[in-house]
C-alpha cells in the first residue's frame, strides 16, 4: 500500500505565507513532502494515491485554543473519543483542553492521563493546560515547573478566573520562568456572581439577574497592570465587550506580552437571541449587546483580537432543560467553528486568509506549537479540505459531539468541511 497521497486541483491556502493559489500537495507518510501551483503539472506519479479536491480549499488544520472535553469526570457530557470525533468533523486537527475536570489537571498524573487517552483515541492531537492553582481553587499555585516539563501548553484555571491579585502576580512570574502563558477567563466574581445573562434592558425585561460588562473589564485592567509589573505572558480568553477590546488594544500599544481570543457567539449573536429564556444561549461570558458584537468584529479585523476559539462546552440536557436562571453555562462549538468564521468572510469583515489565520497559525503560535497551523515542507500533514461556499443548516441532533447544546441550532451557515487529515491520516470525511 502506498504511503504517498497527492491532493490535486486544490485551492491552497496558507495564512502564514499568504499563499492562495490553485495547485497540489503531496503527503508522504505523516509529513507534507511538497506543495505549490506547479506540483503535479506533469501528472501524478505512479503508485501515489490521488485525491481530486475539485477546486475546494486545502488549508492547515484548525488549531483550537480552548475546549472542555469532559473526561475525566464528566464523561456524561463528552469523552475524549466523542470530542475528537466532533473536532475532526469541524476540521480541527489540534486542540487544547481545559483543566476543569474531575480530578482537576493540577498534577503530572493528570497530564499523563490526557496524553495516554489521546494516543488511544488517535484522532486529533490533544494538548492540555494545567491549572494555575491547585484544584482551581485560586489559593495555592500548582507545581508549574513540573507541569511545564510534563507538557502543559499553558496555565489556566479554565472557567474559574484567578481572582486573587497576589496569586496572579506570582503565577505570571513563575510561568515566565518556564516560557508559558497564563490564560485567564476574566470575570470579577463579585460583579458576576449569580448572574444569568448580560446586565441591561433585556435582562430586566426577562426578570433575570444580569452580569455587568464591568466584571470582564475590571479584571482585565487589573491583570494587565500585573503583566506590566512582572513582564509575564498573558492571554485573555473569550473577550466579549467593546471596552475589553479597547483595553487590549492599549496594552498591545504599550508593548505588553498580551494576546486574546473570542468565540463565534460573540461576533454572531447578541443578548436579544436569548429570546424567550432559551437556555442554549446561556454562555460565559454572556451574550452582549449589538455595539459589543460590532466591536468584536472590528477587533478581529484590525488584529487586536488574535484568535477565535471554539469554546466547546458540552452539557447534557439535565442541566440545560431547566429554568434559565438554573441552567448551566456553555454551548458546543467544534463543528460550527469554521462556518461561523467563514461568515466573517462572506460578510466581508475579514479576508479568507485573515479569517483562517485566527484559527490556524495564530492559535498555534500562542500555544507554542511549533510548525503547526501552517503548510510547510517537512511539516506535519495536518490539513482541512473544505468548500467555503456550500450552504447547510446546523442540526444539533446530527452533531458528532455527545452533547447537543448548540446555540447555533437551526442556523443556516455557509462552508462545509469535506475532509480532515491528521499526520497524513484521514480522520473525517464527508462521505463517512
The catalytic site residues sit at 311
Q: For the CA atoms of the chain, what is the radius of gyration?
A: 21
The answer to whether the CB of 33 falls within 8 A of the CB of 61 is: no
Q: What is the DSSP string of 35-99?
A: EETTTTTT-PPTT-EEEE-TT-EEEEPEEEEEE---TTT-TTT--HHHHHHHHHHTTEEEEEE-S
CA 364-366-372 angle, to 5 degrees, is 15
The side-by-side arrangement of strands in the sheet containing 92-97 is: 62-67, 92-97, 125-128
- For the chain, give percent helix, strand, coil, nearest 5: 35, 25, 45
**3-class SS at 171?**
helix
Q: What is the DSSP letter of 418?
A: E
279, 321 in Cβ contact below 8 A?
Answer: yes
How many CA atoms does the CB half-sphere of 60 hold within 13 Å? 30
Amino acid at each position: 500500500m502506498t504511503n504517498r497521497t497527492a491532493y490535486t486541483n486544490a485551492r491552497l491556502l496558507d495564512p502564514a505565507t499568504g499563499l492562495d493559489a490553485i495547485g497540489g500537495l503531496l503527503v508522504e507518510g505523516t509529513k507534507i513532502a511538497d506543495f505549490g501551483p506547479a506540483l503535479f503539472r506533469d501528472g501524478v506519479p505512479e503508485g501515489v494515491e490521488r485525491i481530486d479536491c475539485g477546486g475546494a480549499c486545502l488549508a492547515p488544520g484548525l488549531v483550537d485554543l480552548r475546549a472542555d472535553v469532559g473526561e475525566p469526570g464528566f464523561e456524561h457530557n463528552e469523552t475524549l473519543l466523542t470530542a475528537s470525533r466532533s473536532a475532526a468533523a469541524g476540521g480541527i486537527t489540534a486542540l487544547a483542553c481545559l483543566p476543569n475536570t474531575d480530578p482537576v489537571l493540577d498534577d503530572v498524573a493528570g497530564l499523563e492521563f490526557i496524553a495516554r487517552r489521546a494516543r488511544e483515541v488517535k484522532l486529533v492531537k490533544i494538548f492540555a493546560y494545567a491549572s494555575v492553582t491547585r484544584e482551581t481553587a485560586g489559593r495555592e499555585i500548582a507545581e508549574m515547573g513540573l507541569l511545564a516539563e510534563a507538557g502543559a501548553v499553558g496555565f489556566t484555571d479554565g472557567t474559574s478566573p484567578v481572582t486573587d491579585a497576589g496569586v496572579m502576580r506570582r503565577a505570571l512570574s513563575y510561568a515566565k520562568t518556564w516560557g508559558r502563558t497564563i490564560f485567564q477567563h476574566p470575570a470579577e466574581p463579585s460583579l458576576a456572581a449569580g448572574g444569568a445573562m448580560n446586565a441591561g434592558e433585556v435582562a430586566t425585561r426577562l426578570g433575570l439577574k444580569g452580569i455587568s460588562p464591568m466584571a470582564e473589564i475590571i479584571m482585565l485592567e487589573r491583570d494587565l497592570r500585573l503583566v506590566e509589573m512582572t513582564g509575564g505572558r498573558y492571554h485573555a480568553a473569550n473577550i466579549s465587550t467593546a471596552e475589553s477590546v479597547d483595553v487590549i488594544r492599549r496594552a498591545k500599544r504599550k508593548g505588553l506580552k498580551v494576546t486574546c481570543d473570542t468565540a463565534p457567539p460573540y461576533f454572531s449573536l447578541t443578548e436579544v437571541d436569548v429570546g424567550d429564556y432559551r437556555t442554549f444561549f446561556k454562555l460565559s461570558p454572556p451574550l452582549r449587546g449589538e455595539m459589543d458584537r460590532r466591536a468584536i468584529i472590528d477587533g478581529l479585523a484590525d488584529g487586536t483580537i488574535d484568535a477565535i476559539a471554539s469554546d466547546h462546552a458540552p452539557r447534557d440536557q439535565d442541566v440545560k432543560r431547566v429554568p434559565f436562571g438554573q441552567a448551566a453555562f456553555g454551548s458546543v462549538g467544534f463543528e460550527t467553528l469554521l462556518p461561523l468564521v467563514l461568515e466573517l468572510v462572506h460578510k466581508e469583515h475579514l479576508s479568507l486568509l485573515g479569517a483562517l489565520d485566527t484559527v490556524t497559525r495564530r492559535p498555534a503560535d500562542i500555544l507554542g506549537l511549533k510548525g503547526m497551523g501552517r503548510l510547510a515542507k517537512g511539516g506535519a500533514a495536518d490539513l482541512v479540505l473544505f468548500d467555503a461556499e456550500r450552504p447547510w443548516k446546523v442540526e444539533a441532533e446530527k452533531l458528532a459531539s455527545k452533547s447537543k447544546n448548540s446555540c447555533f441550532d437551526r442556523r443556516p451557515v455557509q462552508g462545509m468541511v469535506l475532509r480532515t487529515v491528521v499526520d497524513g491520516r484521514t480522520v473525517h470525511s464527508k462521505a463517512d
